[in-house]
């Protein structure tokens, strides 16, 4: 059988949700690679097919995948399944945060060993910190590294949709989570703090948050549950207590900003005298997402002006432009 035949059979078995056939054809394919003396490839594929997570979840993944839950009132999907292929090296962050994330990943991989000592891996993690510092990005990276799909839930969308429906929406989301092993991200968890001025809404949201916390407590799942917010001050102690770890994302210091400039500007050729340290020193208070935006602006300016090299001038201008833009935004917000 040719490689194409095998892959075609593999796809068909996936479509038919026939897990046993899928595994059998995958094995045939590995043997096929071995016969071609592609031992490294074969080993790699074997590892992917029989990794702890895939064997554990194969049944769930192929047999009882539930339909994506939808809002009863309006019918919009309550979550999204996303797949990423990112390396942890793409995250430029303090070594403390990297260590915390690493720990979550390693404990998940060694969950079986930990359980023989009656210990549980950290599963519920709260990400806090300023916008654009890498909270959503970290969830994508954990999902990539663990080779698990990311179940993405916009917490605010579920709640703001229709308050009366929220509890049942949450129930559906948790039922879905329990049907498999995933990395789950409750993003934009901020809603909890936002409506505190409106007493009626606030009371309702409080009830919803309580039912969320109860569902979180009762959740029986191997999944990693992440929640991200940039209003950490507003989260009360009852919420903090529910999480096994809280990771606080700070704005990058000058060294990290320099690294960010270097990485984001990698794709383009640069003048020899370009000074990344200067760019880093000019961008105090910028988040990684801000620096990304500035570097993209600088590269675009260089490219459309038909220069094939990026100069310091483009970087400086893009930084200044960003600072002006932020000033306008802050002035407008101040007027409110």
Ligand X SMILES: Nc1ncnc2c1ncn2[C@@H]1O[C@H](COP(=O)(O)OP(=O)(O)OP(=O)(O)O)[C@@H](O)[C@H]1O
Please select the residue that binds ligand X; options are 123, 126, 128, 132, rule is CB under 6 A: 132
Torsion angles phi and psi, residue 81, rounded to 5: -95, 125
CB 328 within 8 A of CB 174: no
Count of positions on this chain that bind ligand X (CB under 6 A): 16
Spell 47-77 as b/e; 16+ CB within 10 A means b. eebeeebbeebbebbbeeeeeebebeeeeee
Residue 180 interacts with which of Mg ion, ligand X, none, CB < 5 to 8 Å by class? none
Residue nearest to Mg ion (CB): 136
Please select the residue that binds ligand X; options are 134, 208, 225, 286, rule is CB under 6 A: 134
Please select the residue that binds ligand X; options are 22, 29, 62, 137, rule is CB under 6 A: 137
Reduce the DSSP state of residue 109 to 3 states and report it: helix
Please select the residue that binds ligand X; options are 288, 295, 299, 319, rule is CB under 6 A: 288
Strands (E) located in 107-256: 124-129, 150-154, 183-187, 224-229, 245-249
Asked if residue 131 binds ligand X (CB under 6 A), the reply is: yes
- Among positions 194-253, residues that touch ligand X (CB under 6 A) are 228, 230, 249
- Among positions 58-87, residues that touch ligand X (CB under 6 A) are none
Compute the least distance from the CB of residue 189 to ligand X, in Å: 10
DSSP readout, 253-285?
A: -HHHHHHHHHHHTTTS-B-TT--HHHHHHHTTT
Residue 78 neighbours by CB distance under 10 Å:
19
Compute the least distance from the CB of residue 136 to Mg ion, in Å: 3
CB 212 within 8 A of CB 166: no
Q: Which residues bind Mg ion (CB under 5 A)?
A: 135-136
Judged by CB under 6 A, the stretch of 15-23, 53-61, 128-136, 268-276 that binds ligand X is: 128-136
Please select the residue that binds ligand X; options are 26, 30, 92, 209, rule is CB under 6 A: 92
Q: Which residues bind ligand X (CB under 6 A)?
A: 91-93, 131-137, 228, 230, 249, 288-289, 292
């Amino acid at each position: 059988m040719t490689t194409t035949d095998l892959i075609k059979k593999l796809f068909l078995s996936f479509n038919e949700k026939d897990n046993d056939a899928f595994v059998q054809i995958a094995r045939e394919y590995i043997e096929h690679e071995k016969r071609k003396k592609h031992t490294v490839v074969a080993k790699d594929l074997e590892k992917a097919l029989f990794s702890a997570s895939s064997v554990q979840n194969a049944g769930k993944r192929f047999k009882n995948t539930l339909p994506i839950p939808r809002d009863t009132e309006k019918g919009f999907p309550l979550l999204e399944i996303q797949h990423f292929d990112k390396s942890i090296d793409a995250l430029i962050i303090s070594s403390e945060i990297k260590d915390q994330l690493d720990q979550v990943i390693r404990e998940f991989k060694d969950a079986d060993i930990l359980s023989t000592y009656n210990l549980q891996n950290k599963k519920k993690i709260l990400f806090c910190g300023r916008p654009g510092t890498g909270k959503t990005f970290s969830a994508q990276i954990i999902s990539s590294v663990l080779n698990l799909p990311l179940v993405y839930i916009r917490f605010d969308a579920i709640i703001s949709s229709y308050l009366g429906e929220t509890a049942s929406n949450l129930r559906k989301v948790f039922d879905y989570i329990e049907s498999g092993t995933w990395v789950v991200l409750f993003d934009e968890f901020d809603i909890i703090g936002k409506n505190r001025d409106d007493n009626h809404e606030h009371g309702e949201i409080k009830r919803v948050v309580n039912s969320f916390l109860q569902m979180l407590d009762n959740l029986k799942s191997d999944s990693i549950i992440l929640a991200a917010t940039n209003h950490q001050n507003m989260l009360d102690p009852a919420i903090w207590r529910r999480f096994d770890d809280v990771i606080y994302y700070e704005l990058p210091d000058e060294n990290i900003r320099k690294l960010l400039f270097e990485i984001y500007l990698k794709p383009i050729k640069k003048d020899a005298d370009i000074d990344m340290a200067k760019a880093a020193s000019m961008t105090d208070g910028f988040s990684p997402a801000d620096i990304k935006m500035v570097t993209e602006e600088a590269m675009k300016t260089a490219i459309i002006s038909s220069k094939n090299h990026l100069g310091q001038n483009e970087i400086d201008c893009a930084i200044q432009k960003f600072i002006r833009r932020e000033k306008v935004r802050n002035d407008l917000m101040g007027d409110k």
